[in-house]
Structure 1
Amino acid sequence: MSDSVTAGPAAWVNLPDLSEKLGVSISKVHQMIRDGQLLAVKHEGVRQVPAELVANSTVLKHLPGVLNLLRDAGYNDEEALRWLYEPDPTVDGNPARGLGGDRAREVKRRAQALGF
């Protein structure tokens, strides 16, 4: 994947800043990424997390479940990122935004359908 995503996140957070924002160690952030609770990709040469996927000091509630469904459907991290940011007005503009609102169930349903 190139260092930019066509329809991507508006803002990014590097891992040390995310560690501080979440109030956990940097090794915990790496563990969360390995465990599929967070999505991190290279952006501008540095591994970063889309800022929209972290609300206040927590990861969006439905993100780990959606990431798990996307991985089960064969998506790697870059493909999952593209899917989350594909324009879709029926889920608040794109699935990533939908995860933070009342459209989260619809986003999960669509991610689940990808595996079939």
Structure 2
Amino acid sequence: MIDTIEQLKEERPDLVELFESMSKEDLLKQCYLECIDAINMEERVSLFMSECTLNMSKTNYELSALQTMINQKKEHEINEFCYYEICDGQLDEEILKAIKERASEIEI
């Protein structure tokens, strides 16, 4: 248990301070709230994975793996856009106009 306290102290010393200042009853209530939040987080992560990646899985991924999957999804969407714009039989200037219109919607 000491290892977990030390780990949390390194990552979130503010939480350790908060938890140590709570009564046993308040701390137990906080544990239940944290569990409910973790359960709900599973649903949020599942939605994110299905909407923002091509390879949705319920496996736990490291942040770098998630970023790779997000980038792959972005590349796929760009490729899809290019394919359908070019394959619609439009002239080059129409394609360029469509791309510029979509690009103008991005806030940088």
Whether these two folds match at TM > 0.5 is no
Higher strand share: 1
Which TM-score applies when normalising by structure 2?
A: 0.25
Which TM-score applies when normalising by structure 1?
A: 0.24
